[in-house]
Amino acid sequence: MSKKPPKGEYIETETGNKVSRRGQLVGTTNIILGGKSVIQAEVVIRGDLTREKQQGQGNQVAIAIGRYCIFSRACELRPPGKLYRGTFSHYPLKIADHVFVGPSSIIEAALIGNHVNIGANCVIGKFAIIKDYVRVLDGTVVPPNMVIPSFSIVAGRPAQVVGEIAEGEVDGFDLREAYRAVRN
Amino acid sequence: MASFAPYAYIQCPCTESNLPTRRLGSESPTDPLETEQEEPTFDPRAPRANYSLYPLEHLLYCEDCHQIRCPRCVIDELVACYCPNCLFEVPISTVKSEGNRCTRSCFQCPICIGPLSVSSIEAQRDGLGAEFAAYGGPYVLSCGFCNWSSDEIGIQLDKPNSIYNQLAKIRHGGKSLTNARERRKEREERSKLGYSPTIEEEGGSEDGQEKTDLNATEDFDAESQFGNLKAFYQAQLSESSPVSSLGLPGDYSYGSPGALSRIMGLYTGSSFADKKSRTKKGIMREARDAPEGLHIFSPSSDEEAVNRLRTEGWGNTVSTTQRKEQSEQNTHFLSDLRPIPYLLRTRRSKRCKTCRHILSKPESKVHSTRFRIRLVALNYIPSITIRPLQTSSSSLLRPMKPTQFLLTFKNPLFDSVKVNIATAAKTPGRFSSKVTVLCPQFEVGANTDAWEEALREGGNKGGEREKRRTKAEASEGQHQAEAGKVWERGRNWVSVVVEVIPASLRVQAPAFLKSEELQKDESPLREDEDVLEIPVFVRVEWEADPTHDDTGGLAAAGAKDKEVKEKRELAYWCVLGIGRIARD
């Protein structure tokens, strides 16, 4: 805290990503940011966990993130991994647009769709698939391999669909305003 | 408890309209008097209020009735059924025949309701994904959350796909199970062989028959038992219904001669229907063996359960929630549980209950998240946001200290809107706080141009607003909220100040400080009674362009010629949850 960088909290990239100086991005060559996303302090993104090297394919995408995503403080994104045909390998983690991840949540999903809101202290299990317009309430543990259909509200340990997103709530998932609100 | 997010809930007017719309003639003379009188202020704590308050996002708006529509005054219509796990659409005809569960390979863990995945036994310890199909060998269903596996109940599968069909044939411990349909077939064959279900024959054949049937009951699961029962009684009904009457269960159709004769009997007042029915009634009989769906309770099963409880202990019994998920009725032990096939989910369109117009209609494809029609109240009535005017250190409201709040009304319409807000001077309830709206009448500008907003947002507008706000906060002492004046105004939003004097939550207060209700009822503070909720009556008036309504080309064209603006008005109760009052 005492060595606060004079330039401000965030580094802004050409495509408008705001990446905190205190974020921990590992294996940055394997991370794709779609632009206008916010990565806050202490966020861990494990780009180094790529698929097992196959015949000289050098650069592989470990984590692909769309536009207008916000990753709150101390959340962690790691590609899911499993043993397949005798070898342990990680698989890419894809995150679409307008995805909000709350503080201290751990994401190991295979796919997160558009307009998804994940609360604080959640765990999204390995290879989970979250479709569009889903709200994951605080403290939810989504078990591995779970599929959450669109317009669901999910809570509990293990996660359970507890409600539906009403028609009017759909607009509330847009994160453009929230992105603009993030300033250095 | 610590954090309290202010909220604004809107009461759907449909709850008020249970006035004499359908009452025929019997209107009592006192009724109109009561309704004519001034409406009582809406009490957000009334037990009924809970059912009529919705956040703005949950409300729809009917363009034809010009009224708010809540989930209680819309009709849902099925658009599609789909499995929430494999996301495959299931045709409604299949749902009718096969039931409302996924019949592919989607199962939930009976212990923790997590999703089950198929894995080969050899690679069981990794247990992720269906890719283990390549391994071959017997498969099990395993849960990635609680590590339950179908091996525990002795179920192993030969194929990694179409598990529903495989499971239907396997009992616990791997024994095969004849399913309902095969049973029925068998039964039909038997009846063809000259077994006719009539009472006369019963006397002769009962003994030998019953023994074999008792054994047969063991094999039945709930589903096939129900199937058998249903088939049996339908057969019984079809045999006896042409002449019988008086509401045989399951036969309500007016087309049936029995019902018809009953109705005729009602109108003619004669008893010709009764006579007929009395003579023929004896033909219906009950199920009497297992293929007909009879399940005989054996006292030994109870003893068995007690013994199992002794040996296996309490820890191996099922919980109520686990039991509720099972389709089988008598599951008492964990080892009786079966994987739960996923319940299908629906996608629905919504219609207005009064005029039957569609309010929301999703696209028919399961994977699409777009709407063809979506008339949400958010686009028609002003949204209200609440914010404290002074930033105070504690999140609780100090009793007896005047606190000011900013209500911001944002207009979504393309016409400017006149807003009237009214509150009672005191909030209802035992602890009534004093409320004053400093500016109850104001006009909110039109939501004219999205471009304008974007330009302003990008440019200096945002900063300017920020500046203004900070200035106001800094000069709090001087910049007093004035009565009758709007606090702040934007293109399509207006902020007004509401002053609140929170009540003291002390039950043992001096008598002059107490409200009437509190004097009557001096019980200690109840749950959530410390939340300060203000009922506000909001009345919105605007002049709409009738051409916006697409009520048919001709009418619209005529209206355009006249250039008449239609006056619209909407009034509703709204409850503002402001904060919790501190206890002193």
CA atoms within 13 Å, Cβ hemisphere of B188: 8
ipTM of the complex: 0.87
Residue B158 shares a structural domain with residue B201: no
Using an 8 Å CB-CB cutoff, list chain B residues near A161. Answer: 84, 345
- Residues of A with Cβ-Cβ distance to B350 under 8 angstroms: 167
Looking at the domain assignment, is residue A3 inside a domain?
no
The mean per-residue pLDDT over the stretch A5-25 comes to: 86
What gap in Å lies between CA B324 and CA B224, rounded to an integer? 19
Band of pLDDT at residue A184, cut at 50, 70 and 90: confident
The mean pLDDT of B360-383, rounded to a whole number, is 87
Residue recorded with tokens 């009962």: B206
**B84/A82 touch (CB, cutoff 8 Å), yes or no:** no
**Which residue in A has a C-alpha nearest to residue B144's C-alpha?**
A144
User: Do B140 and B171 fall into the same domain?
Assistant: yes
In sequence order, the 6+-apart residues with CB closer than 8 A to the CB of A119 are: A102, A105, A135, A136, A137, A138, A139, A140
Helix or strand holding residue B542 (H, E) = strand B531-544
Does the beta-carbon distance from B84 to A114 stay under 8 Å? no
DSSP secondary structure string for all residues of B409-440: EE--SSS-EEEEEEE-SB-SSSSPPEEEES--
Q: Do B143 and A143 touch (CB under 8 A)?
A: yes
In a domain, A32, yes or no: yes
- Chain length of chain A: 184
Tell me which residue has tokens 């009879």.
Answer: B294
- Report chain B residues whose CB lies below 8 A from the CB of A97: none
- Give the pLDDT of residue B13: 80
Asked if residue B531 and residue B403 are part of one domain, the reply reads yes
Whether A15 maps to a domain, the answer reads: yes
- Provide mean pLDDT across the span B128-144: 68
Domain presence at residue A42: yes
In a domain, B373, yes or no: no
Burial A30-68 (b: 16+ CB within 10 A, else e): bbbbbbbbbbbebbebbbbbbbeeeeeeeebbbbbbbbb
Beta-carbon pairs below 8 A across chains A and B: 84
Tokens (6 digits) for A91: 């698989």
Q: List helix spans (H) across B446-579.
A: 450-458, 461-474, 516-520, 553-562
Residues B505, B534, single domain; the answer is yes
Min CA distance, B39 vs chain A (Å)? 30
Number of domains in chain A: 1
Do B330 and B257 have their domain in common?
A: no
Residues of A in contact with B457 (CB under 8 A): 180
Indicate whether B434 pLDDT > 50.
yes
Mean pLDDT to the nearest integer, B194-217: 43
User: Quick one: pLDDT at residue B429?
Assistant: 78
- Tell me whether residue B351 is in a domain: no
What pairs with residue B581 in β-bridges? B397
Nearest CA in chain A to B378: A168
Nearest to B126 among A82, A141, A180 (CB): A82
Dist CA B407 CA B387 (whole Å): 7
CATH code at position A47: 2.160.10.10
Are both B285 and B233 inside the same structural domain?
Answer: yes
Please name the residue of chain B whose CA is at the shortest distance from the CA of residue A157: B112
Evaluate if residue B55 carries a pLDDT over 60. Answer: yes
State which residues form the domain around A160.
10-51+59-181
Residue B76 within a domain:
no
Do residues B539 and B462 both lie within one domain? yes
Q: Is residue B156 part of a domain?
A: yes
Q: What is the dihedral of CA B367, B370, B374, B377, to 10 degrees?
A: 100
Could you report the per-residue pLDDT of B330-349, keeping only the tens digit for each? 778 888 888 899 999 999 99
Domain containing B308: what range?
103-177+302-341
Cβ contact, residue pair B144, A126, below 8 Å = yes
Query: Does residue B525 lie in a domain region?
Result: yes
Highest mean pLDDT among A65-69, B95-99, B191-195, B559-563: A65-69
Same domain, B248 and B389: no
* B114, B134, B369 ranked by CB distance to A150: nearest: B369
Q: Is B327 in the same domain as B409?
A: no
- What is the rounded average pLDDT of the residues B506-512? 71
Q: Is residue A35 part of a domain?
A: yes
* Interface with chain B: mutation pick from A145, A147, A173, highest number of B CBs within 10 Å: A145
Helix axes B222-240, B180-192, angle to 10 degrees: 40
Residue B6's alpha-carbon distances to A59, A75, A94, B248, B584, in angstroms, are 49, 27, 35, 56, 22
Indicate whether A87 belongs to any domain. yes
Whether residue B404 is found in the same domain as residue B516: yes
Residue with tokens 């709350």: A102
Question: For residues A50 and A60, is the Cβ–Cβ distance under 8 A?
Answer: yes
Q: Pairing mode, if any, of strands B74-82 and B345-352?
A: antiparallel
**Rounded CA separation B346/B79 (Å):** 7
Rounded Cα distance between B162 and B160, Å, is 7
For an interface test with A, which of B141, B145, B352, B453 has the most A Cβ atoms less than 10 Å from its Cβ?
Answer: B145
Q: How many domains does chain B have?
A: 3
User: Is A126 within 8 Å of chain B by CB?
Assistant: yes
Contact A149 B345 (CB under 8 A): yes
Reply yes or no on whether the pLDDT at B472 is more than 50. Answer: no
d(CA B155, CA B152): 7
**A82 chain-B contacts, CB cut-off 8 A:** 126, 128-129
Residue type (1 letter), B201:
E
Residue B32 in domain: no
Do residues B8 and B496 lie in contact, with contact meaning Cβ atoms separated by under 8 Å?
no
Nearest of B374, B380, B360 to residue B572 by alpha carbon: B380
Same domain, B137 and B243: no
Q: Which tokens sit at B286?
A: 């009950």
Confidence of residue A110 (pLDDT cuts 50, 70, 90): very high
| Partner residue opposite A168 with nearest CB, options B59, B126, B131 | B59
Q: Is B118 helix (H, G, I), strand (E, B) or coil?
A: strand
pLDDT, residue A112, reads 95
pLDDT band at B512 (very low <50, low <70, confident <90, very high): low
Residue A1 domain-assigned (yes or no): no
For the cut 50, the answer to whether the pLDDT of residue B236 exceeds it is yes
Secondary structure (3-state) at B502? coil
For position B476, what pLDDT does the model report?
46
Name the residue type at position B426.
K
pLDDT tens-digit readout, B162-203: 888 888 877 665 556 555 555 556 655 655 554 444 444 444
Left, alpha or beta for B447 (phi > 0: left; psi -120 to 50: alpha)?
beta
Contact assignment for B145 to A125 by CB distance below 8 Å: yes
Q: Check A169 against B85: CB less than 8 A apart.
A: no
Instruction: State residue B582's pLDDT score.
Output: 83
Per-residue pLDDT band for B557 (boundaries 50, 70, 90) equals: very low
Cβ–Cβ < 8 Å for B149, B143: yes
Residue B126: list chain A partners with CB under 8 A. Answer: 82-83
Question: Quick one: pLDDT at residue A36?
Answer: 92
- Better-scored residue on pLDDT, B178 or B240: B240
Average pLDDT of the segment spanning B418-436: 85
Residues B285 and B199 sit within 8 Å (Cβ to Cβ): yes
Q: Quick check: A166 contacting B, CB < 8 Å?
A: yes
What would the mean pLDDT of A50-62 be, rounded to a whole number? Answer: 70
Q: Is the CB of B378 less than 8 angstroms away from the CB of A144?
A: no
Count of positions (residues) in chain B: 584
pLDDT at B458: 53
B161 and B194 share a domain?
no
Q: B85 and A147 in contact by Cβ < 8 A?
A: yes
| Distance from C-alpha of A38 to C-alpha of A22, rounded to nearest angstrom | 12
How far apart are the C-alpha atoms of B292 and B286, rounded to whole Å? 9
Q: In this structure, is residue B550 part of a structural domain?
A: yes
Dist. CA B181–CA B58, nearest whole Å: 44
Q: Give me the sign of the Cα torsion angle B436, B438, B443, B447.
A: negative
Res B106 pLDDT > 70: yes
